Every structure is written in C-alpha cells, then in structure tokens.
Amino acid sequence: MSKKSDSTDDHVRKSTMMLVAFIALGVGFVGGVVFSAFKTIPRVPAPGPEQPAQPVKEQSISEEQARQILALEREVASNPDNVDAWTKLGHLYFDANNFESAIRAYEKSLELKPDNADVQTDLGVMYRRNGQPEQAIKAFNKAIEIDPEHEISRFNKGVVLLHDLNDHRGAIEAWAELLKINPAATTPSGQPLGDLLKKLKQTARP
C-alpha cells in the first residue's frame, strides 16, 4: 500500500509506512565521545492494527551511525538552513528511536520546507512513539492536507486513533478513506485492510 515518493532521501521508509521495524541503537562512542543521549530501543516486529506496542530492550549504536549523527549535528549547527541535513538527521534519530531528537530535527526541516508529506508522516510516527498521540494525529492530518492521496499517513492515523486514543469510529473513518484511494491496501501482516475494517465495524461501539 506504499505510495512512492520522488524524494532523494528514500523516505517515507518501510518503518514509517506501517509503524513497524525500529532499528536497535543506544550508546555509541566516536573519538572518545560518549553518545549517552542516544539511548533508545531496538528493532522489533511492529504491532499491526491488531495489537498495541510492546516494550523492548536497549542496545548500542555503531560507531558509523554515531559518526553520521555527529557530522550532521555539526552541519546543521554551521548551516541551520540546510533542510536536507535536518531531514537526514531526523531519519537517523528515527532509526535510533531517539524520539525527542528526531522530533526536533523534523520540526526544523518542516520549518524550512513545510510541504513535505513524508517528513510530516515521519514526525507523526515519532510523536506517537514519544507518547504524544494527539500531536501524531495533527502531523498525519497535515500530511494528508499536503497530499490527499498519501496512503501511509492515513494508515498510521488509523493505528493511532484505534490503539492510542481508543477512537474506533475515527479509525474506521480513516481507513475507509484510505480504501477509497487504494481498495487493495493491506496491513503489515498482509491482511486486506478491507477485511480488518469489516471486523472493526462489527466490534465498534454504537
């Protein structure tokens, strides 16, 4: 159900598309510098619409990943208007599950280029992982305003409404709109979204 982007950053990534895979990162060392701020959680099978997220253990980042982050932090410090650097930095922190730093980088990127639906969606995912579902919904809605056919943001909006905000009706509406765009849309497990929507309608409160 992925909607291809012409972005050179290869985003929205698969992890964003389904609120799935999260790369293992934690504490890294570069030239004797301890990146203790990068403590995060590892890649795990993502919850589909059927179940909420589960806690995972922390691991360490590689030296190469830490070098990339350090280089980009230096770049944005010297050139704060470099939108590509802010976006790439956000992607690295996204993969690191360093939610607050990813949010900071994506917000800076969007200040410079607000019409990027993919970055808005990545931002929404980080808000959700940071325990801010309302902000996640706002980010997904902005992505949809920018690109009404942005399937990824619509799918993720439904996930957050269903699992984080307990809004079954809202999730039904979000996914129904997605199915209008792509009737063949599926969940991360490969289940047709239409089938899931039927079950959700049957269990929705009147």
What does the pLDDT look like over 57-95, one tens digit per residue? 334 577 888 999 999 999 999 999 999 999 999 999 998
Q: What is the number of domains present in the chain?
A: 1
The model's pTM: 0.74
Question: Domain of 121: which CATH number?
Answer: 1.25.40.10
Task: Give residue 113's pLDDT.
Answer: 97
Mean pLDDT of 85-109: 95
Q: Is the pLDDT of residue 206 over 80?
A: no
Cα–Cα distance for residue pair 74/80, rounded to 1 Å? 10
The domain containing residue 117 runs over which residues? 14-149
Q: Is residue 7 part of a domain?
A: no
